[in-house]
Each structure stands twice: as C-alpha cells, then as structure tokens.
Chains A and B, each alone.
Chain A
Amino acid sequence: MKKPDKIILDHGSGGKISHHLTTEFILPIFNNPILADLDDGAIFTIGQERFAFSTDTYTVDPIFFPGGSIGDLAINGTVNDVTMCGATPLYLSVGLILEEGFPIHDFEKVMDEMGRAAAQAGVKVVTGDTKVVPKGAADKIFINTSGIGIIPKGIDVCSKNARVGDKIILSGTLADHGVTILTQREGLTFDAPVRSDSAPLNQMVKKMFAAGHAIHTLRDPTRGGAGTALNEIAQNANVGIRIEETMIPVKPEVSGICELLGFDPLYLANEGKLIAFVGPADADAVLAVMQEDEFGKDACIIGEVTAENPGQVFMETRIGGLRIVDMLTGEQLPRIC
C-alpha cells in the first residue's frame, strides 16, 4: 500500500487500512514481542502472576443512544478486552477529554452510566485524568479507559491458540450496536426498535471457564465486526475457518436496515458479544452455560476450525454455495441504490 500523506477516517475503521497504520507506523516504533501479538490486550508476567492489560479510546456520535451511552461503552469495552485475554478484570483508569461548553447535565449522565457499568462489571476505577479543550478541538467528550486483570492459573487464551476441530461459538445476534449508531446519526431517520448490545461479558466468561477447559480463543467482535475478528484469528493461528450463514443470528430489524443500506452485518460493530473457539468435547457444555447467561441467550455454534485454507474464512451460504469472508477494508459506506 502507498504511504498515505494524511490521516483519513478509514484509518480508524478497524479494517485493513487501520491494520496498515498500526503495523507500518506504530509497531516498528514500540517494537516488542508483547505488542506484536496485536491481540485485544497485552499479556505478560510479573512475579508469579500473569496479567492482561488493555486500553481503548471512545469517540461516538451521538454520545447517548438506545441501549447505552459513551459512558457504559467505555467501561464495558475495556472490561471485555481484558476478559478476552482470559483475565478477570479488576482495575480501570479513566481519561476524559471534554469540549468547552459541554453541558454539565450530559457530563453527569455519562459519569452516572460509567459508575453503573463499573458496578455491574464488578471493576473499580482507581485512577483518572481530566482535560478540557477549546470548543471545536474535540467533539463533546472523548474517553480513554485502560484496564488490568489477573489471568487465573490454567487459563491460556489468545488468537494463536485456535486449533483444527475447534467449534466456534457466537454469543448472540450480530450488528446490533453498529446499526443502532447508524440509525441515530444525523440524516438517518429510521424508526426502528434497535438497541445497542453494550454489556460486560466478564461474568459469563467466568462461567464458561468453569464449564470447559478447552477454551482456546476469545474475541469480542467490536469495530470491524465478526468478519474481521474471524480473519484475524485465522491468520494468527494459521488455520482455516468455516462458518454457516444459516447459523448466524441477526435480528430481523437489524437485517432489514442492513439490506436497505447495503451493509453486511458481518462487518458491523458489536459491544456485548464474543466469539469463543472451544475444543469439540467441551463445546456443548460451554454453549449451555452461555445460553443460561443474560448476555448469551442467543448463543450458538456458527462453525468450526478446519485444516484447509489456512488464514482464510469461508462461509457456506443459505443456498448451499460457498464464499470467502474477507477482512473489512475501510469503513462501510451507504451505497447509492
């Protein structure tokens, strides 16, 4: 890819163009083996304990939307990133960038929702920082959160660990968050009952580990969607992935909006879903505890890991055809007709 002369929005899409920015401009500077894994969080050992550490910055327009706000998103997102490393998230930091003129009422509301989300996830915010910038230098409020957690003994999950024969479990319907944000943005006046799925997944994951030891990989398909997450796992573990279209749950109203705008739910963001790669012997037990959890009611097995086509994701379509599922390139844009 040609060297870009400016940052464009696609550099933040979570797809191939973002990946290029990370690997060409950032990774070489901070070059170290922990960062090089490019998983949801860093995994390292201090003394006898293994830790997971993750950071994420939240900018969302609008800041309040059905099913959540930038506040709970900033807590849940980092809780989930630490959880996907197999860790129990414990402590979070919060950095706030506020735009001059941001209504105090909205600020209070965001803080309230952060507090509620932290309590629900059972994590403590232990340090923080606040900056205010002149009007126009930021959009209302930007939030950075970092989180740290301990990985219990015997747990070892990362994208490289996915192995042939693993069953792929998806915890629920795809694209709810992505479509909700789209319908709330200026200019799109859909009156559809869609809600963000923003949720902390750490309690459910705890139960999953209790039910089955052969959980090899966990991933929350946020920006870039499930399609991009599955591709990253296939590439990192050098295995093939085969999923079935008919098994992938998408809410009818979400699917309808995607049809209308030409979007593929496989590439839209989720904020309360996970994908688990589980050894075949443990898959049913893990699935069963997920289905009992409020955030995994619609969990199902969507496919499995294969030896064929390493590094690639294939999907058996509804009509019995086969097609490749590639990584997202840049942000999906609504089509003309």
Chain B
Amino acid sequence: MSLKYMEEYRDADIARSLVEKIKASSKSKIRLMEVCGTHTVSIFRSGIRSVLPETIALLSGPGCPVCVTDQKEIDAFVALARVDNAILTTFGDLVRVPGTVSSLQKEKAEGRDVRVVYSTMDAIDLAVKHPDREVIFPGVGFETTAPTIAAAIKTAQQMKLANFSVYAAHKTVPRALDTLMSSELTGIDGFILPGHVSLVIGTYAYEPFFQAHHTPCVVAGFEPADILQAIWMLVEQIENQTPQLSNAYGRAVTSAGNEKAQALLDEVFETSDVAWRGIGVIPQSGLVIRDLFAAFDAGKKFDLVLPEPIEPKGCACGEILTGVKTPPDCPLYKTRCTPMDPVGACMVSSEGTCAAYYRYHG
C-alpha cells in the first residue's frame, strides 16, 4: 500500500467526522474487543480512547502472537538455542520473553548463536551459507505469518536443505473467538477483527463463529480512521440490534481471502489442539507440521529436554488476553512486571497489551 493511501486514512477530518458519528449513535454502554495487537498499539498511538465517548470501552484481545505463546513453547525455543552447533533464528520480539529458566536474550548473552531475522527466508539463506550448522526457526504467529513459514519449509524441501527446521507454534484466530464468547466474564458486545489475518483467511472464515453467536463483527484496517470506521459500524449494529459480520477494510480484505496462502497452509500444516498462554487449550486452534514435512520439524528432529513449566505466580496474562481484566488490575503490573524486567509475555512484545498500557500509560 502506498504511504499516500495511509496518510489519507489518518486524515484528521475523516477521523473527526467519524468521532462525531460515533458520539451521535452511541447510547448504551458497550464493550468492544480489538482482537489484534497491532490494533491495540494503533489505538494507543493515535489516542483513540481519548476521543471516544465514555459509553464505549475498548478491550484488548489475544491477538499478539508472542503473548499467547505458551510457556512450554518458549522453553522449547530456549532448548533449541542450546542444541549443539545450532543457529537459532527468530523474529525480534520473541527474544525477551521469559521461559521457565531462561529467555533467548539471556541465551545470546551466554554465547549461544541467537540471531534476529526479518523473514523465514533469511533463515533459509543462513542454512545455505552454513551447511555445517543446524539453522532452527521458532514458528510463531497467526495466519498472517504462518504462510511465509510454510513457504520456507517447502523451499527447504525443494532445496533438500537438511540443516533447516522449524518448531511450529502457530495459532489461528477464529477458534479463539469462540473461547472468548464462551466465557461469561468477558461480556463482549462486538469484535474489531484483525485486518492482516483476515487478508489471508477471508471474512468467510468467521461465518461459523458469527452464526453461532450473532455478535457484531467488523474487520478493520490499522489506520486511525479504519479503526474509528469499524467502531462506528459496531455501535450502529449494537444500537439497532442488527448484528452483522462486516468488512471495513475492503481495500485489502475479501470474502475468500488469499486462497494461494490458504492452500500453502493446508499443504504444510494440519490443525491441532494447542495451549494458549494463560488461556489454556483451545481445540483445533494450532497449526503443526504435517508428517510429509517431518524432516523439517525441529520438535521431531531434536530430542528436547524441557523443564517442568512454572507459570509466573500472580501474572494475570490469561484474564488480560481475554478482556476479563485490564493490565492495571494485575497485581504485578508496573511493580514486579515492567518492560525492563517482564514477568508475562504481554509485557514483552511491543504489541502486548501490558506493554502498550505501560508505554502509553493506559
């Protein structure tokens, strides 16, 4: 997307007129959840909360990939960094997340070869460059990131790269929405659905969820005006009692999504029950590597000895990720847990709810 396009969606006049529309329409008190961490940050950065009427509460959901990565998975990444002769390549925001005994950042300080890369293909390049080393990639992320990792696995297979592997810890969004609605505590009146994820899976992927719950859902882009547009649509649907599954990000998201990416996901991964940090196991919400590609599955390739995971005491990550609590409700927030010395993953990633609250004093 050109920057000019983004500037337009940040345009103050468009945003201000949307705020007026929201104020005019919003009567009853409602709770809206932005599922995606990029939305959370955009809402803080543009000061959206400060322009909304008091009737609207915005909750941050479980859509920061680092935040929902289970402690056991972080422990596995640490164990992989310790594999003899390994280069552990990772996306940047994973390195600070504390596992049970260590973090990738600490392992790097201990002298393990942990390298931040910007794409899985960079990890492939490293594997080609260093045929005598084991290049391992922790596959973390939602439907947005998973296709690129599937593509890397396929590339590695085509290139017969025996020294490249992925530890897949991917999660998918629609199933998590079901879990959020099944908790009576959350009381969510409407969802701002993630733009990037929807670009891949299409709006149709949310149909089963919408048919089951009839909760208003709007797919949104990431500029302030995109988010305000989605909030206005949700307010209208709630006030008029006309719940819909709608798309406010039509310039990028279609009903069918990116079918090529979906096919790639299906070829390399299969769904499985996985644990989300603080939330627990959500059935069929994970993507694991199919047997056909087992040679590239780091979980199978290396014999990992993992510590018994000890969840940090008092950390309210789970309740924060589901909108039951906000970060200031957590006893550790700003005291024992800060971005300088995080306890939970929500305080680590720049897109984590606690880190965003901390940074912008939410």
Contact = CB atoms under 8 A, between A and B. Distances in A.
Nearest to A319: B15
A137 B271 CA distance: 47
B48 A337 contact: no
A334 B109 CA distance: 19
Contacts of A6: 106, 109-110
Interface stretch (A87-95, A121-129, A141-149, A323-331): A323-331
B350 A255 contact: no
Contacts of B140: 336
A333 to B, nearest CB: 3
Contacts of A330: 96, 339-340
A36 interface: no
A153 interface: no
Contacts of B204: none
Contact of A323 (B37, B47, B350, B351): B47
Interface stretch (B115-123, B246-254, B291-299): B115-123
A186, A322, A323, most chain B CB atoms within 10 A: A323
Interface string B200-230: 0000000000000000000000001100100
B10 interface: yes
Interface residues of A, number: 41
Contact of B360 (A10, A255, A323): A323
Contacts of B350: 262, 332-333, 335
A6 B106 CA distance: 8
A332 to B, nearest CB: 7
B142 interface: yes
B66 interface: yes
B349 interface: yes
Interface in A241-297: 246, 252-253, 255-256, 259, 261-262, 264
Given A261-B118, A330-B340, A333-B350, A323 B92 contact: no
DSSP majority for the A interface? loop
A134 to B, nearest CB: 17
B340 A329 contact: yes
Contacts of B95: 333
B341 A326 contact: no
A337 B196 contact: yes
Contacts of A326: 358-361
A247 to B, nearest CB: 13
Contacts of B340: 1, 10, 16-17, 20, 329-330
B159 interface: no
DSSP majority for the B interface? helix
B224 A318 contact: yes
20 contacts: A2-B341, A10-B340, A16-B339, A246-B12, A261-B118, A318-B11, A318-B46, A319-B225, A319-B228, A323-B44, A323-B45, A323-B46, A326-B359, A329-B339, A333-B92, A333-B95, A334-B118, A335-B349, A336-B91, A336-B145
Contact of B15 (A259, A262, A318): A318
Interface in B324-353: 338-341, 349-351
Contacts of A259: 3, 6
Interface residues of B, number: 60
B11, B224, B339, most chain A CB atoms within 10 A: B339
A320 interface: yes
Contact of A262 (B4, B41, B358): B41
Interface in B17-58: 19, 37-38, 41, 44-51
Nearest to B15: A319
A81 B46 CA distance: 32
B262 interface: no
Contact of A187 (B38, B66, B122): B122
B141 interface: yes
A8 B144 contact: no
B94 interface: yes
Interface in A16-37: 16-17, 20
Given A262-B41, A319-B10, A321-B47, A8 B106 contact: yes
Contacts of A203: none
Contacts of B122: 186-187
